[in-house]
Structure 1
Amino acid sequence: MKLPVMPPVAPMLAKSVPTIPPGASYEPKWDGFRCICFRDGDEVEFGSRNERPMTRYFPELVEAVRAELPERCVLDGEIVIADDSGLDFEALQQRIHPAVSRVTLLAEQTPASFIAFDLLALGDDDYTGRPFTERRAALEGALSGVNAPIHLTPTTTDLELAERWFVELEGAHLDGVIAKPLSGTYQQDKRVMFKIKHVRTADCVLAGLRWHKTSTEATPLVGSLLLGLYNDEQKLQHVGVVGAFTAKRRAELVDELAPLLLGEGEPHPWQEWASAEAHQGQRLPGNVSRWNATKDLSFVPLRPERVLEVKYEHMEGTRFRHLAHFVRWREDRTPESCTYEQLEQPLTFALDDIVAGLGRGPAR
């Protein structure tokens, strides 16, 4: 492979801001695997955000790149899996598997798509030093008439339209909106873009804790709190964790939560977490990490008696997509009142609707 921009490439990053800034180019913030796509003839590589190779996990996209993209190019984009209701990040996570047979099967059962949103190189030309407006125009020309599963993300310079996207596209499990400076160059590993993400609150049941990685028997420290919500059958489902505490607060929580520790033989809603069969059909917190099979996901069960309010961005199926953040204890709420009904249910959109710009304005 010989291209003007060679792997590995650290993607350009975005900093969080509370509102959508004016005077920029706006596009949906996709919730998938960020990657750089390199093509030089039949040679195709996908490099992850951490500059690790992703190519072997998505053979269907390798073939699609060969069929749809220019002969020699480098694109920044996102690998996603979508159905009629939007993006499915859980299905995407399943695609990272060591067995070739499993990778091949999943490529057929849950095929992925590649959403392109920036151009780093085309032919012999390096575009990273050019303004975004020029890169976008060249990207549109290079991907003119491209077919699924390769897509060009919609963009707009209309702030009002971007604000509508921010609200409406959440139902498709998109993260929010990205704002790119029109004159900005492509700067690897620099936070020169802006991201505006959804933040909501929910009241959850505290049902367990995990010890911090630096915790010792002499100096115990709480690492994270395990959160639960009751479903329609009044079963407590594991929905996520809260873990961003100071060292001082981690130590304080040890004594604060001690009264909630279970006694010998005392039952717990997640006591079957160690059984693989118990994870079928419900969310329990003891599953093996897909990203690190040696990671200890065991937890200390607590009586599900306390309620805490947390901030979260959006849901992925029945759980919080990202780490939640502690807001406050809710002594005025009962655990039984913490159900999924409190969560907002945004509208849903199919992938084709999104990449077509929702038919709401110019995709420029």
Structure 2
Amino acid sequence: MDLPVMPPLKPMLAASVAKIPPGMAYEAKWDGFRTIVYRDGDEVELGSRTGKSLTRYFPDVVAAVRESLPPRCVVDGEIVIAHEGRLDFERLAERIHPAVSRVRTLAELTPASLIAFDLLALHDASLLASRQAERREALEGALADASPPVFLAPSTTDIGLAREWFDRYEGAGLDGIVAKPLDLSYRPGTRAMYKIKHERTADVVVAGYREHKSGPVVGSLLLGLYDSGGVLQHVGVCAAFPMKRRAELAEELAPLRCEAAGHPWAAWADAAAHERSRLPGAQNRWSGGKDQSWTPLRPERVCEVGYDHMAGDRFRHTARFCRWRPDRVPAGCTYAQLEEAVSYDLSEVLSAVGPG
């Protein structure tokens, strides 16, 4: 492979802001695997945000790149999987599997798509120094003949339309809006764009914690919600605490520490139990052998957390601790309190794809 922009390259990132800023180009924020696609003839490499290769996990995307992208190019985009009219991150995550046969089977059962939203190189020219508006125009030309499962991300400079997208597209599983300054060059690894994400709150049960890597202080709180059958399901964690607060939490929660026996998540070490319920503690393809042990707590305390959206029955990202809720009882912390976005078919989003 010999391209004007070579792997590994860190993608340009976005900083969180509360409101959609004016005077920029606006795109939907896709909930998938960020990838930089390198194509040099038949050679294709899919680079992840961390620089690791995704190529072996997405043979269907590699084939689509050979079919739809220019013979020599570098494209920034997102690998996604759609299911029942919306993005499905859990099915996407299943692709990160060590068995080649399993990956091939999943590629047939749940094929992935590539959403392209930036062009970093074309033919023998690097576009990293070009303005965002110029790169977008070049991207539209490069993908003029592309066909599914390769899509050009919808883009607009109309802030009113961007606000509509922010409200409507969430129902298709999208994550918010990205705003890009029109004069912005491509700055790898820098938070030079802006992202606006949905923010909601929920009251959850604190049923355990993991220790911080630095010692016997709280690293992350393990959060639960009761399902319709009265079973406490593990829905995620909140973890961003100053070191002083981590030590205070360990002391504050010490009276609630209990033995695993009798705890709602006592079966966390039983692989079969994870098939029946969502539990903390299991090794998986993401843990990379890290210590997943945790300290059980009697599920008696409730806290309010901020979250952006759900992925199935769990928080898609790490939740943000807001406050303790001594006025709430754990039994009232159910999935019923969660706001559901109005359903919106993903095909309606992608039908907006096209030059201009």
TM over 0.5: yes
- Structure 1 residue 175: deviation in Å? 1.4
> 2:27 and 2:276 mapped to 1: Cα distance?
35
**1:84–1:349: 8 Å Cα contact kept in structure 2?**
no
Is residue 35–residue 49 contact of structure 1 (8 Å, CA) maintained in 2? yes
**In structure 2, what is the equivalent of residue 96 of structure 1?**
96
Determine the C-alpha separation between the residues in 2 that align with 1:274 and 1:225: 18
Equivalent residue number for residue 228 of structure 1: 224
Which residue is 1:151 aligned to? 151
Are 1:307 and 2:302 an aligned pair?
A: yes
| Equivalent residues of 1:156, 1:363 under 8 A apart | no
| Deviation at residue 81 of structure 1 after TM alignment | 0.9
Q: Counterparts in 2 of 1:1-364, with a 5 A limit?
A: 1-215=1-215, 220-262=216-258, 267-357=262-352, 364=356
What percent of counterpart residues are identical? Answer: 59
Query: Once the 2 structures are TM-superposed, how far is the Cα of residue 187 of structure 1 from its aligned partner?
Result: 1.3
For 1:250, what is the secondary structure of its paired residue? helix
C-alpha distance in 2, partners of 1:243/1:126? Answer: 40
Q: Which amino acid aligns with 1:153?
A: A
How far has the Cα of 1:266 moved from its partner? 5.4
> Contact 1:228–1:237 (CA<8 Å) still a contact in 2?
yes
Alpha-carbon distance, 1:363 to partner:
6.7
Name the CA distance, whole Å, in 2 between partners of 1:198 and 1:289.
Answer: 28
Q: Secondary structure at the match of 1:280?
A: helix
- Deviations, residues 189-234 of structure 1 (Å, cap 9, x unaligned): 121111111111100011111111111xxxx211111100011111
Cα distance in structure 1, aligned partners of 2:4 and 2:250: 54
Contact 1:25 1:157 in 2 (8 A): yes
Amino acid at match of 1:110: T
The Cα shift of 1:327 comes to 0.7
Distance in 2 between residues matched to 1:63 and 1:255, nearest whole Å: 55
Deviation at 1:85, TM superposition (A): 3.5
The TM-score normalised by the length of structure 1 is 0.94
One-letter amino acid of the counterpart of residue 198, structure 2? H
Shift in Å, 1:350? 3.3
1:35, 1:46 within 8 Å by CA — same for their partners in 2?
Answer: yes
Report the CA distance shift for 1:121/1:210 in structure 2 as closer, same or farther (over 3 A): same
> What secondary structure is seen at the aligned counterpart in 2 of 1:304?
strand
Q: Using the alignment, how far apart are the partners of 1:317 and 1:155 within structure 2?
A: 28
SS at match of 2:276: coil
- What is the letter of the counterpart of residue 171 of structure 2? G
- How many angstroms does 1:4 deviate by? 1.6
Paired with 1:143 and 1:57, the residues of 2 have a C-alpha distance of: 24
CA distance in 1, matches of 2:328, 2:17: 32
Residues of 1 paired with 2:187 and 2:288: CA distance? 34
Q: Measure, in 2, the Cα distance between the counterparts of 1:328 and 1:281.
A: 31
State the AA in 1 paired with 2:35: C
The alignment's TM-score, normalised by the length of structure 2, stands at 0.96
Paired amino acid for 1:308: C
SS of equivalent residue, structure 2 residue 151 = strand
**Deviation per CA, 1:25-73, whole angstroms, max 9, x where unpaired?**
0000111111110111111111111111111111111111111111111
